[in-house]
Amino acid sequence: MSTTALGISALFMVGCCALAQIARVICRRLVTREGLVPILINEAIAAAELCACCFELIIVADNFGVSMYAVCLFLLTIWWGRVWGDASACPYTHMEDVVEGRTSFKEMALRSWAELMGGCCVYRVVQVFWWLELAETHRGRAFETCNADLQVSPYLGAVIEGVATLLCRLASKTISEKEPRFGSYIDSFIGTSLVVAAFNFSGGYFNPVLATALKWGCRGHTHLEHIIVYWIGACAGAVLSIPVFKVPAVRRLLLGEGAASKSKQE
């Protein structure tokens, strides 16, 4: 495939990020009061930005390989880490907050709903862009039947998504506590590496909203199998990271002797 097609894909993703940032600025100016409304809007914007870019990343992976996909994803995750603020575009982070008593079940449910709306609705924008067929890689993609990325049994897929999400969350918690130099780059590299490792097995989504927006109803798995793999698997891995991160042996491995001793005292 030509570099022109890759350039068009890159410009589309940059444009999505720019439009999302403009939307955030407008939101801050129009919604000045504090509360749940601006939080939900920011979650919807972040999810729309995430899913729009990842729709185009499918085009990149299919035509330019997983390596180029990984490079683009790595750069995008660094950007998102800088501009999203408190938004996560991922339901299980709010589930973790509920388990640890930092938020209510109501807020978790509303945030997850906002993320689903943002992630699923943005497909119409992507579909119009693909319909224009500005690049040869977009020919026929706007209305084609999608195929599931799950290449293993649903239960094995749930284990893969769950274990990878667990490792990803443990890495993020470790980086958050240690605050190393270039921590955001390290976190993005670990996340991208895990995605690439799981790419040919479950698709490596590690985010229920992202998986639902991109692959719900696709040929190759049922709705129940989708929920088992991408919702139950990923969310179970994330929630499990909370007690696992408190285990002294795990803290000693990730944070050092001092952290393990502090954990025992608590």
In whole angstroms, what is the distance from residue 211 CA to residue 25 CA?
27
Q: Are residues 130 and 164 in the same domain?
A: no
Tokens 């893969």, residue?
Answer: 160
Residue 94 belongs to a domain:
no
What DSSP string runs through the chain? --HHHHHHHHHHHHHHHHHHHHHHHHHHHH--S-SHHHHHHHHHHHHHHHHHHHHHHHHHHHHHHHHHHHHHHHHHHHHHHHH-TT--S-HHHHHHHHHTTSS-HHHHHHHHHHHHHHHHHTHHHHHHHHHHT-SGGGTTTSSSPPB----S-HHHHHHHHHHHHHHHHHHHHHHHHH--TTHHHHHHHHHHHHHHHHTTTT-----HHHHHHHHTT-BTS-HHHHIIIIIIIHHHHHHHHHHHHHSHHHHHHHH-HHHHHHHHH-
Instruction: Encode pLDDT of 205-253 as tens digits.
Output: 999 999 999 999 899 899 999 999 999 999 999 999 999 999 999 999 9
Domain span at 167: 146-258
Question: What is the pLDDT averaged over residues 100-128?
Answer: 95
Question: What is the pLDDT averaged over residues 122-144?
Answer: 93
Q: Is the pLDDT of residue 263 over 60?
A: no
pTM: 0.92
Q: Are residues 117 and 181 in the same domain?
A: no
CA atoms within 13 A on the CB side of 243: 5
In whole angstroms, what is the distance from residue 172 CA to residue 152 CA?
27
- Residue 179 makes CB contacts below 8 A (sequence gap 6+) with none
- What pLDDT band is residue 1 in, cutting at 50, 70 and 90? low
Q: Is the pLDDT of residue 265 over 90?
A: no
In whole angstroms, what is the distance from residue 76 CA to residue 14 CA?
9
In whole angstroms, what is the distance from residue 214 CA to residue 200 CA?
16
Q: For the beta carbon of residue 258, count every other beta carbon within 10 angstroms.
A: 10
Residue 71 belongs to a domain:
yes
Q: Are residues 53 and 115 in the same domain?
A: yes
Q: Are residues 150 and 140 in the same domain?
A: no
- What pLDDT band is residue 197 in, cutting at 50, 70 and 90? very high
Average pLDDT score, the chain: 92
Q: Are residues 138 and 150 in the same domain?
A: no
Q: What is the pLDDT of residue 259?
A: 56
How many domains would you assign to the chain?
2
- What pLDDT band is residue 255 in, cutting at 50, 70 and 90? confident
Q: What is the pLDDT of residue 258?
A: 62
Q: Are residues 119 and 150 in the same domain?
A: no
